[in-house]
Amino acid sequence: MLAGVLAAAALAAAAAPAATPAVGVLRATVVLKSGCPGPRACADPGKPLAGARISINRLSGIRVALARSGPDGRFSIRLRAGRYRLQPLRAGSASARPLTVTVLAGKAVAVTIAYEGPQKV
């Protein structure tokens, strides 16, 4: 009888899902804005920027990944839940400001990274 109980417990443990780290998905769209003449802001949505490199860092500054945008200007990466600093690397004469994102377990977060510069890369 004890052997049957142990066997049933072993089967239940094998059927239970394995513990997985709490991860979410970061989905980014990288665009190049050409800038607007004059002092007023404009609604330039930008054009997809392929090949842009984005360093994904913990807030402590430790790099956890280096992403590169695809031909459509997008990339997607799975990350452990937490806060990250996205540091866009220069692309020719274009640059973008860093931003902070929070990735939640089981969720996807979408961001747009806007490079500005006169030159297409």
CB of 24 closer than 8 Å to CB of 105:
yes
Please, what are the domains in the chain? 20-116 (2.60.40.10)
The pLDDT of residue 19 is 61
Helix spans in the chain (H) = 2-15
In whole angstroms, what is the distance from residue 25 CA to residue 72 CA? Answer: 18
What's the chain's average pLDDT?
83
Share of the chain above pLDDT 90, in %: 63
Query: For residue 114, what are its two tokens?
Result: 């806007």
Overall average pLDDT of the 112-119 stretch: 83
Sign of torsion over alpha carbons 112, 113, 118, 121: negative
> Measured in whole angstroms, how far is the alpha carbon of residue 15 from the centre of its chain?
32
CB of 48 closer than 8 Å to CB of 31:
yes
Query: For residue 103, what are its two tokens?
Result: 């990735």
- Partner residues linked to 58 by β-bridges: 84
| Whether the model pTM is above 0.85 | no
pLDDT in tens, 30-86: 999 876 665 566 667 789 999 999 999 999 999 999 999 999 999 999 999 999 999
Amino acid at 91: A
Q: What is the DSSP letter of 95?
A: B
Query: For residue 36, what are its two tokens?
Result: 């607007």
Q: How confident is the model at residue 2 (pLDDT cuts 50, 70, 90)?
A: very low
